[in-house]
Amino acid sequence: MPHAVMHRLPMSAPDDVSALAAAIAAGTLDPASVVAVLGKTEGNGCVNDFTRGFAVQSLKLLFSRHIAPDRVDAIAFVMSGGTEGGLGPHWLVVEARAGDHAATGPSLAVGVAATRSLLPEEIGRVAQVDAVAAAVAAAMAKAGIAAAEDVHFVQIKCPLLTAERILEARGRGASTATAETLKSMGLSRGASALGVAVALGEVARDAIDDRAIGVDKTLWSGRASTSAGVELMVVEIMVLGMSAAWSGDLAIDHAVMADGIDVEPVRAALRRLGFDAAGQLSTDEQARLRALLVKAEASSTGRLRHHRHTMLDDSDISSTRHARAFVAGALAGVVGHAEIFVSGGAEHQGPDGGGPCAVIARKA
Amino acid sequence: MPHAVMHRLPMSAPDDVSALAAAIAAGTLDPASVVAVLGKTEGNGCVNDFTRGFAVQSLKLLFSRHIAPDRVDAIAFVMSGGTEGGLGPHWLVVEARAGDHAATGPSLAVGVAATRSLLPEEIGRVAQVDAVAAAVAAAMAKAGIAAAEDVHFVQIKCPLLTAERILEARGRGASTATAETLKSMGLSRGASALGVAVALGEVARDAIDDRAIGVDKTLWSGRASTSAGVELMVVEIMVLGMSAAWSGDLAIDHAVMADGIDVEPVRAALRRLGFDAAGQLSTDEQARLRALLVKAEASSTGRLRHHRHTMLDDSDISSTRHARAFVAGALAGVVGHAEIFVSGGAEHQGPDGGGPCAVIARKA
Amino acid sequence: MPHAVMHRLPMSAPDDVSALAAAIAAGTLDPASVVAVLGKTEGNGCVNDFTRGFAVQSLKLLFSRHIAPDRVDAIAFVMSGGTEGGLGPHWLVVEARAGDHAATGPSLAVGVAATRSLLPEEIGRVAQVDAVAAAVAAAMAKAGIAAAEDVHFVQIKCPLLTAERILEARGRGASTATAETLKSMGLSRGASALGVAVALGEVARDAIDDRAIGVDKTLWSGRASTSAGVELMVVEIMVLGMSAAWSGDLAIDHAVMADGIDVEPVRAALRRLGFDAAGQLSTDEQARLRALLVKAEASSTGRLRHHRHTMLDDSDISSTRHARAFVAGALAGVVGHAEIFVSGGAEHQGPDGGGPCAVIARKA
Amino acid sequence: MPHAVMHRLPMSAPDDVSALAAAIAAGTLDPASVVAVLGKTEGNGCVNDFTRGFAVQSLKLLFSRHIAPDRVDAIAFVMSGGTEGGLGPHWLVVEARAGDHAATGPSLAVGVAATRSLLPEEIGRVAQVDAVAAAVAAAMAKAGIAAAEDVHFVQIKCPLLTAERILEARGRGASTATAETLKSMGLSRGASALGVAVALGEVARDAIDDRAIGVDKTLWSGRASTSAGVELMVVEIMVLGMSAAWSGDLAIDHAVMADGIDVEPVRAALRRLGFDAAGQLSTDEQARLRALLVKAEASSTGRLRHHRHTMLDDSDISSTRHARAFVAGALAGVVGHAEIFVSGGAEHQGPDGGGPCAVIARKA
């Protein structure tokens, strides 16, 4: 039975892969087993955030020194910009190692899959929803996760529209979901999230049509985390869940935060994983927590628990930056540190103003 | 016996005093009894934050319609800019009403005092420390607070250096603590905080000399909250504490946060005030909490619980803005809403990276 | 014959009206003759720019000490936030004084008018275009400006949609041009500009329908400068032009900049007003220049003279702030100082990436 | 006789080296002759600008495919972040080709040199001034530039202090010029600029002592352009000037701007290079202009031509970003496009608020 390994490693800059290099040198990180690297980098997390590309280029240079080019290309590199508030820039390296781990019983399982290449006119529409739903099912099968309730997080990287892609579609007489490239990112993230929701039975397929995507905030997945990038036309999917077909000392659970300070569901997830979590995690318990991943956003109502917030009115700081700093504080207050993977842009990912939160920990 | 009344009221913009006007019209707020108005306004909280001045001008226009000019001038207007993260812009109106309240026993007491006018060359130096220490003692006496341990928060507004003031001093052959006006704000805030520390016995007077101000981070008050403004040369002081000479249904306690996510001391203060506070405050308990005031800052070490933070390296967003958003999240996660008075610039106010936190609540 | 007086006065902060107060005290500024005050204030010029409101409140307090409330209300207060680059915050006070000036011949003329109150569903649509066109004609008549070619600048303040206004319209079964309040600002500015274009014969009325507003960048006025504000439902209009019915030593002309560095048309306008303008204006000539007003924006193509610009990709600084700083530099390089009224948001005001520019000067 | 070649090439992102790759493929750019690549990248130009490192990493990857590692290492990579206003991100590639060019007569000459490794305690002090002055002389000799007046631009990259370097010095009993790492960047830039000033005879060596560095704004070079980086302890120097020992069709001249809108000296330099420059450069003349390099900064007085500017008071946007956008506009207004190498941080580089400006053009 395979087993998953999760490394949480610090970075001093977006191109600082020295912690990975050291772990490889020490034999604790096996580059050949790596299926994904997530990076929380210190850019603005918005349009002109080049820390993500810089991090990916640096990671590829590192891995190229250890494994073959096609193996490097097979790794999912998921960079999320923005370490506002006290957030600590860090890497999450996910390995799927062949062979049994001493620890048995249902364990953290990982599966990856991708859709076919989408056409520009499919982005942000039900065609994308359906393609993602099918690929999530495929990734679950690869991970050996039988039931939807055993899936706890689905990390997705999906395409966006560019001026060129819009023109190419028009040349074929097709029209795209939007002519605005920035808006296409939200629509693609949202359609991907709804694909997860369909695959996991959270939303009925027939409740979704093109007009609902990006608009109907009552439709959401409590386990999807999606980001859009210019470099691909397929949708890449990584499913994290629990499976009896895996061994290992890691487990995963999740919570849905109803808003940015809805920490009690996260505390409940921690308790289900055997943490005490009455107040802030103790130092011992912190060592057992491997990773916390969460989506954050400002509520579109301009209200948080009936009080006004100003995140959407601030023309100096993007609301996504406000939201990351704030949710980081709320969760760091619970777990006792701020190396948390807080990501913005939560269309159809959790309710309006809230978001899914995954907890990965060593078994109790 | 006098009694204190604390109103927490929303604002939709820095000049929105409609909630105060409505409370005055309804008879629940007595303008003649107001001793202080604190405002958490939605500016950047830095040099070019004009929301503070706009708020004060708007408040004075309101009060001028109800009380005589000299009474308006006697009110302490303390504006703190910056509602990052989910922070809700709000007013805290403090009344000191004559006459007994039905509720008895030691209660929230308020006292105000001011130092003499400082000379420019005294700002940010031990002369300011001594003047503030004496004025804190005077404010305690006015508030009927006998013991230093009954003081839980000292809100201070102090002067800063301008180019003109520096030149005036030089004209007399005197040199100022710094020639940089921005730096003088930090020195003045720090000297004021040390004055509180001396008055309350937190720091020995002979541990302080001019060179330690702004430099020695081991010297601090756990109850001072200071801000510098250009409009005054005296130091204005408002002491909040518990006194048997006051009646009323309000009580105050405080905590010192060692860093931005050190929420357990705040939880302990809540418990001392009769809150359950096991997890997030319940809706009923939230109604009992009248105000939460806290200082926030990024630690100068660039570290939070051993992990790197990037607040001091971000040239797009001031570290004070990051810190407010983050600490707001940590505390809102505890109390269940974000109408919290989080203020930046914590020189000698709590340890490096942390800060004092005051809790004002209806008695249990 | 009436004559116009134009004061350009410095401000040290948005509430600093001391230069106006001094001019009133000195008798050089007659508050009873003031028809408009324009203010270039040092906010961000975007949604949460409170320097505009603070400036207006401060101006009203000043004028209230000199003229009756209804006269204060009759003054047009047009605040434009944003003094990026080296722009100098300043006031432009426009007086229309009764009685002949020693200087005769066609002179700067001023006329103000307003539309009826618009309904929410009219904002950003042809109904607004038509109402503005009629009011521009009325303002021209009041100013004694007979021909459209004698109009050189039309400053407009127009309403925007709020959530409440949208709901009110829906309650009557009407739908608004957009459900997004920020977007309504651009649509209202654009519809106002097109109203000017129709009134001045720059665009044929039948070339405009609802769908073209905010979309068809080939339709524009070379003399409109419009801004949207929440405080009104009418459209306020100030026409500036040349009229034989006015006396005085001031004249006005205008240019249309094709992009942010298209300074030669401005140089040509300066020459028509008798300036040498071969290189930068001499100090003597600078004294003769009373005011320079211009609209600035980033071109939607992402290109400036075939080269890429990054103003639309910068998630840290709004493109309007970039554009103001840049155009300020281009024009300050010509006129030799930076007390220039550069305003952002140029929908249908000049071609894409460019904008109208008015020059007001003492006659040669 | 060698000859210099200067390529100005566009970039669509910091890692977009495709224009260089295409020029190499087309044979118009010879990677083996490249001595320097300057990049104007689209970051914030401040502390957390990673576009510079990303650009250098991308350039090195490109050159490594064409030339040996030690040759790659010998290229000077000088990245300057910040394309505010309409500035176009671009590369300037400088080649020193062996062999005669058809065009003869004094031509653009290039010479590079480096100082020895500085000790931390030498940074920002006269030891650095002296080391730079000697290395500038060496670079002049290599470039075959005999007289100081033939030097028109000296581009420098110099070290800064880090916490580690400060501690290392202390461990040896030495104290550094400052304990603040950010401040050390300005001191190092300033000391380097003064080294240029000494080498070129602009400032007498005995007018400089440690206390003047960073303080005495009357001491400056009109030809130095310096930037500090963490990756080196030597000072790297590239001298650009005119030499009879070089052939080629390129020439260089320079101007000193007294403030950000002092464009007439630049116009005069253009005229000396044979441009008409009466108004904005014509399209033909624009093709002849190869590169414009300039330093920009906000004047420390808070004034521009007697009027207030707000660049130093803006806590949302760094003054360096304001200054680049503004000076870009002023110069783009003269030359007719905005692919200009405007760089911030001008300590001892030109007078307070101004800066040196170099013009490189094809000979008339």
pLDDT digits (tens, 9 = 90+) for A90-136: 999 999 999 889 998 999 999 999 999 999 999 999 999 999 999 99
Residue A324 assigned to a binding site: yes
Which is catalytic among the residues C33, C58, C107, C157?
Answer: C157
B242, burial (CB in 10 Å: exposed 0-12, middle 13-18, buried 19+):
buried
CA distance A196 to A221: 7
CA-based nearest residue in chain C for residue B56: C54
Q: Contact, C129 vs C191, CB < 8 A?
A: yes
D143, burial (CB in 10 Å: exposed 0-12, middle 13-18, buried 19+):
buried
Name which of A269, A237, A262 is nearest A355 in CA terms: A262
pLDDT at D180: 84
Among partner residues B44, B48, B316, which is closest to D44 by beta-carbon distance? B316
Query: D158-185 burial, b for 16+ CB within 10 Å, e for fewer?
Result: bbbbeeebbeebeeeeeebbbeebeebb
Q: Contact, D251 vs D360, CB < 8 A?
A: yes
Looking at the annotation, which residues of A are catalytic?
157, 227
Angle formed at CA A292 by CA A289 and CA A295, multiple of 5 degrees:
170
Could you say which of C222, C240, C258 is where a domain stops?
C240
List helix spans (H) across B282-318: 283-288
CB pair distance less than 8 Å for B87 and A329:
no
CA distance B124 to B208: 12
CA distance D302 to D312: 7
CA distance B215 to B210: 10
What are the residues whose beta carbons fall under 8 Å from the beta carbon of A310, sequence distance 6 or more? B42, B83, B87, B89, C48
Contacts of B89 in chain A (CB under 8 A): 308, 310
| Residues B113, B76 share a domain | no
A282, burial (CB in 10 Å: exposed 0-12, middle 13-18, buried 19+):
middle
Could you say which of D193, D221, D240 is where a domain stops?
D240
- For chain C, the first-to-last Cα distance in angstroms comes to 21
The domain that holds D41 is classified in CATH as 3.30.1330.170
| Residues A355, A254 share a domain | yes
Tell me how far the alpha carbon of residue D233 is from its chain's centroid.
18
Q: How many CB atoms lie within 10 A of CB C232?
A: 15
Name which of C75, C78, C87, C95 is nearest C24 in CA terms: C95
Could you say which of B44, B75, B99 is where a domain stops?
B99
Residues facing residue D79 across a β-bridge: D39
| Residues D259, D353 share a domain | yes
Contacts of B46 in chain D (CB under 8 A): 315-316
CB pair distance less than 8 Å for D318 and B314:
no
What are the residues whose beta carbons fall under 8 Å from the beta carbon of A91, sequence distance 6 or more? A7, A8, A9, A10, A11, A17, A19, A20, A37, A38, A39, A40
CA distance A25 to A33: 15
| Residues B19, B134 share a domain | no
- The domain of B119 spans 108-240
Q: Is A148 on the interface with C (CB under 8 A)?
A: no
| Residues C341, C293 share a domain | yes
pLDDT at A163: 84
| Residues C236, C114 share a domain | yes
Residues facing residue C158 across a β-bridge: C228
> Which parts of chain D have pLDDT scores under 70?
none
Q: Contact, B273 vs B283, CB < 8 A?
A: no
Name which of C84, B204, C97 is nearest D325 in CA terms: C84
* Phi/psi at B63 (5° precision): -65, -30
| Residues B298, B229 share a domain | no
Q: Is D264 on the interface with C (CB under 8 A)?
A: yes
CB pair distance less than 8 Å for A48 and C318:
no
pLDDT in tens, A60-93: 999 999 999 999 999 999 999 999 999 999 999 9
| Residues A217, A113 share a domain | yes
To the nearest whole Å, the CA of B315 is away from the closest chain D CA by 6
Among partner residues B46, B48, B315, which is closest to D47 by beta-carbon distance? B315
| Residues A131, A71 share a domain | no
Contacts of D314 in chain C (CB under 8 A): 42
- Look at the block and give the residue holding tokens 């509520």: A299
Rounded to the nearest 5 percent, the helix, strand and coil shares of chain C are 35, 25, 40
pLDDT at C268: 98
- For chain A, the first-to-last Cα distance in angstroms comes to 21
Q: What does C257-296 look like in DSSP terms, one character per residue? A: ESSTT--HHHHHHHHHTT---SSSPPHHHHHHEEEEEEEE
Q: What does C191-231 look like in DSSP terms, one character per residue? A: HHHHHHHHHTTSS-GGG--GGGTTT-TT--BSSEEEEE-TT
Q: Is the dihedral of CA A96, A97, A98, A100 positive or negative?
A: negative
Q: Is C58 on the interface with B (CB under 8 A)?
A: yes
ipTM, interface predicted TM-score of the complex: 0.96
Which is catalytic among the residues D33, D40, D107, D157?
Answer: D157
Neighboring chains of D (3 or more beta-carbon pairs < 8 A): A, B, C
pLDDT in tens, C14-46: 999 999 999 999 999 999 999 999 999 999 999
Tell me the CB-side half-sphere exposure of residue D70, using CA atoms within 13 A: 0
Whether pLDDT at A332 is above 90: yes
What are the residues whose beta carbons fall under 8 Å from the beta carbon of C21, sequence distance 6 or more? C62
* Phi/psi at B28 (5° precision): -90, -20
Contacts of A48 in chain D (CB under 8 A): 42
Tell me the CB-side half-sphere exposure of residue B33, using CA atoms within 13 A: 19
> Which parts of chain B have pLDDT scores under 70?
none
For testing contact with chain B, the best of D315, D317, D320 (most B CBs within 10 A): D315
Q: Which helix (H) or strand (E) holds D97?
A: strand D90-97
- Look at the block and give the residue holding tokens 């990351």: A324
Does the annotation mark D64 as catalytic?
no
pLDDT at D211: 96
Whether pLDDT at A272 is above 90: yes
Cα dist. B325→A330, B30, B262, D355 in Å? 10, 33, 15, 39
Which is catalytic among the residues B157, B192, B221, B319?
Answer: B157
Which B residues, 268 through 307, put their C-beta within 8 Å of a C-beta on chain A?
278-280, 298, 304-307
Residue C356 assigned to a binding site: no
Residues facing residue B111 across a β-bridge: B239
Name the domain count of chain B.
3
Crossing angle of helices C18-26/C51-64, nearest 10°? 20
Contacts of B49 in chain D (CB under 8 A): 315
pLDDT in tens, A141-199: 999 999 999 999 999 999 999 888 999 999 999 999 998 888 899 999 999 999 999 99
Q: How many CB atoms lie within 10 A of CB C226?
A: 30
The domain that holds A353 is classified in CATH as 3.30.1330.160
CA-based Rg of chain D, rounded to a whole angstrom? Answer: 19
pLDDT at C163: 84
CA distance A274 to A179: 49
Q: What is the mean pLDDT of chain D?
A: 96
pLDDT in tens, A291-315: 999 999 999 999 999 999 999 999 9
CA distance C42 to A96: 56
The domain that holds C236 is classified in CATH as 3.30.1330.180
pLDDT confidence band for A231 (50 / 70 / 90): confident
pLDDT confidence band for A56 (50 / 70 / 90): very high
Torsion angle in degrees (nearest 10) through CA of A201, A205, A209, A215? -10
Helix (H, G, I), strand (E, B) or coil at D346: coil
| Residues C140, C216 share a domain | yes
Query: How many helices (DSSP H) and strands (DSSP E) are in chain D?
Result: 9, 14
Residues facing residue B48 across a β-bridge: none
CB pair distance less than 8 Å for C15 and B51:
no
What are the residues whose beta carbons fall under 8 Å from the beta carbon of C194, sequence distance 6 or more? C129, C132, C203, C208, C213, C219, C221, C348
Q: Contact, D9 vs D34, CB < 8 A?
A: no
| Residues A349, A269 share a domain | yes
> Which parts of chain C have pLDDT scores under 70?
none
CA distance C264 to C334: 9
Helix (H, G, I), strand (E, B) or coil at A87: coil
Helix (H, G, I), strand (E, B) or coil at D103: coil
Among partner residues A50, A51, A316, which is closest to D316 by beta-carbon distance? A316
pLDDT at A126: 98
| Residues C123, C46 share a domain | no
Does the annotation mark C188 as catalytic?
no
To the nearest whole Å, the CA of D83 is away from the closest chain C CA by 7
Contacts of B50 in chain C (CB under 8 A): 13-15, 42-43, 50-51, 54
Rounded to the nearest 5 percent, the helix, strand and coil shares of chain D are 35, 25, 40
